[in-house]
Amino acid sequence: MISHSRPTLDQEEAAAVTRVLSSGQVSQGKEVLSFEKALATLVGASGAAAVSSGTAALHLALQALEIGEGDEVVIPSFVCTALLNAIRYVRATPVLADIDGDTFNVAVRDIKRCLTRKTRAVIVPHMFGVPADIDEITALGIPVIEDCAQSLGSCYRGAPAGSFGVLSVFSFYATKVICTGEGGMIAAKDLRLINKIRDLRDYDEKEDGGLRYNYKLTDLQAALGSVQLRRLPALIGRRRAIARQYDESLREYGLSLPVCPSDREPIYYRYVIRTERLGELLNAGHTAGIAYRRPVFKPLHRYLGLAGYPQTEKAFHTAVSIPIYPSLSDVDVRTILHHIQSFVK
């Protein structure tokens, strides 16, 4: 089976983890601090706080902004449930926006439709490695949390994704851009927010009894992440090389290929094509031993029983994510291309 996604790990990662094991310091320590500094530098932040998952990062970002019951947070419907869950954790109200039909990112015009006097934040995922219209969104005057789980290393008008919002969050799950197994991080230019998040992520030895969490990252994970972060340019380079092969071979077959505005540098976390025969392609891939997948399992408005969201619905019925990750071999790329070409014909 050609996996839909998988981590790209090598001996350097194994050596880093072995070094930490040998040190005897495996919980949160200096490796975490080093990882935080490296990522903050990469995205132009003043500081960063590592946590146990991307969902934990979203949760603590909302808490740092003191968002809670009675507040509204705008998010796109075409995204994973982590955003919805994080908003529910703080008892705020999620307000769903439709997406742009070309980029799969949240549509600025629909964010404007969603704004009320109760709106306290907008969470903006840069979907599939293509930065959203972040300048237009920040210009609305609402605090923006950038969700960079799929976009680490991408750029918008020459600046890195994650450098525009009040806070930016990252995920290092096994199949994300870089991998720590599980893990996440929050970055910001305002160190007061980062210090608040560092307090919230650990409940032990506090002077007061306020609500806090066990959301720490371990030195084992951080050592792995630091190596992956150093390898990021090569990992992204391989993704882009595979995307070029897909572009060149699939364009002639009338498929709708990924769209990225010219002022952005995508990283191709996902390579999403569109077809009216989505179900047939998913089944054909399974039969052929190739894991094609929906890029979003189910839009959020369907979980909430809401109608509308025409561009999100169209994406749900037509979008297919085909394998793209640095360890995907050229032989596998050719196998995938041959299968899609045969399917279309």
DSSP structure class, residue 211: -
Encode 167-180 in three state secondary structure. EEEEECECCCCCCC
Rounded CA-CA distance 107/98 in Å is: 6
> What's the first-to-final CA gap in the chain, in angstroms?
23
Q: Which of 176, 196, 298, 345 is catalytic?
A: 176
Rounded CA-CA distance 220/111 in Å is: 40
**Token pair in block for residue 282:** 């998913």
Rounded CA-CA distance 22/86 in Å is: 36
Across the chain, where does the E strand assignment appear?
47-51, 72-76, 93-97, 119-125, 144-147, 155-156, 159-160, 167-171, 184-188, 264-265, 271-274, 319-322
Q: How do strand 72-76 and strand 119-125 relate by DSSP bridges?
A: parallel
Strand partners, 96: 75
Known catalytic residue at 196: no
Using a 10 angstrom Cβ sphere, with 0-12 exposed, 13-18 middle and 19 or more buried, the burial of residue 152 is buried
Element containing residue 13 per DSSP (H, E): helix 11-23
Rounded CA-CA distance 66/59 in Å is: 11
Residue tagged 């996440």 (tokens): 184
Catalytic residues: 176
